[in-house]
Amino acid sequence: MSIAVRSHAAATPALRVLNLAGVEYSVHEFDHDQTTRRYGTEAAEKLGVDSHRVFKTLYILVDGEPVNALVPVTGQLDLKALAGARSAKKAQLAGVAEAERRTGYVTGGVSPLGQRRSAPVVIDQSAQDHDTIFVSAGRRGLEIEIHPRDLAMTTNAQFAKIATLD
97-114 pLDDT, tens digit per residue, is 999 999 999 988 899 999
Name the pLDDT band for 69 (thresholds 50, 70, 90): very high
Which of 18-32, 52-66, 67-81 comes out lowest in average pLDDT? 18-32
Cα gap 35→51, rounded to integer Å: 20
> Degrees (nearest 5) of the Cα angle 59, 63, 64?
60
**Burial group, residue 134, by CB count within 10 angstroms (0-12, 13-18, 19+):** buried
Mean pLDDT of 132-146: 93
d(CA 152, CA 15): 15
Which phi and psi (to 5°) does residue 102 adopt? -75, -35
Is 8-165 a domain of CATH 3.90.960.10? yes
The answer for residues whose C-beta is within 8 angstroms of residue 20's C-beta and 6 or more apart is none
Q: Does the reported pTM lie above 0.95? A: no
Where along the chain do its domains lie?
Answer: 8-165
Residue 43 φ then ψ, to 5°:
-60, -45
